[in-house]
């Protein structure tokens, strides 16, 4: 269940930063400056037996775990690291998921997950996912993330992510 209070705080900041949204500066997080920020990344996932429901299909809840794997590996391939963000007190949480299940994945299928960062603002990080078996699209999703501290208070998205994403957007 999404924390509605957290979502409302995020929405209030994203829409009107002056309306009661107070932000703490984020402590610096190590970033490998020599590694460019990737906007897209792809991983392969082999469906395991325990990920399937009694009908032999991947259970719908497992796709969210696949998306987590995709965004973790995208950040890692870009030189970032969620562990270091968490050690700095920056916790990344999901505040919105829009998932469309088109076809089921089955045990032992080899899947390709394409993860793309579609937007980064001071208040949120947007990802889009496409999961394929061969060339067939099985699932697509849009996920919105926010950054909070250990007390659950919304924080700004780390500067290195905003800067890296906006640099990637320049002509």
Query: Per residue of the chain (171 residues), what is the pLDDT tens digit?
Result: 344 444 444 443 333 333 333 333 444 444 455 456 788 999 999 999 999 999 999 999 999 999 999 999 998 998 888 888 889 899 999 999 999 999 999 999 999 999 999 999 999 999 999 999 999 999 999 999 999 999 999 999 888 778 877 765 554
- Helix/strand/coil percent split, the chain, to 5: 30, 35, 40
Q: What's the burial of 22, exposed, middle or buried (CB within 10 Å: 0-12/13-18/19+)?
A: exposed
Tell me the domain boundaries of the chain.
Answer: 4-13+38-169
Note whether 66 and 105 are within 8 A (CB): no
Catalytic residue among 3, 53, 134, 142: 53
By residue count, the chain amounts to: 171
Active site residue 168: no
pTM, full prediction: 0.77
CATH code for 4-13+38-169? Answer: 3.10.129.10
């Amino acid at each position: 269940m999404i924390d509605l209070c957290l979502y409302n705080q995020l929405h209030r900041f994203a829409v009107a930063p002056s309306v009661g949204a107070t932000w703490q500066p984020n402590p610096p997080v190590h970033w490998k400056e020599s590694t460019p920020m990737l906007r897209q990344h792809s991983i392969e996932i082999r469906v395991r037996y325990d990920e399937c429901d009694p009908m032999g299909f991947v259970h719908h809840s497992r796709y969210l775990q696949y998306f987590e794997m995709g965004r973790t590996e995208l950040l890692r391939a870009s030189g970032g690291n969620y562990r270091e963000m968490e050690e700095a007190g920056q916790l990344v949480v999901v505040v919105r998921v829009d998932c469309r299940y088109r076809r089921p994945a089955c045990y032992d299928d080899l899947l390709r997950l394409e993860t793309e960062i579609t937007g980064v603002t001071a208040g949120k990080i947007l990802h889009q996912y496409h999961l394929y078996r061969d060339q067939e699209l099985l699932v697509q999703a849009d996920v919105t993330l926010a950054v909070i501290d250990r007390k659950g208070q919304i924080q700004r998205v780390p500067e290195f992510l905003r800067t890296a994403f906006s640099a990637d957007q320049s002509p």
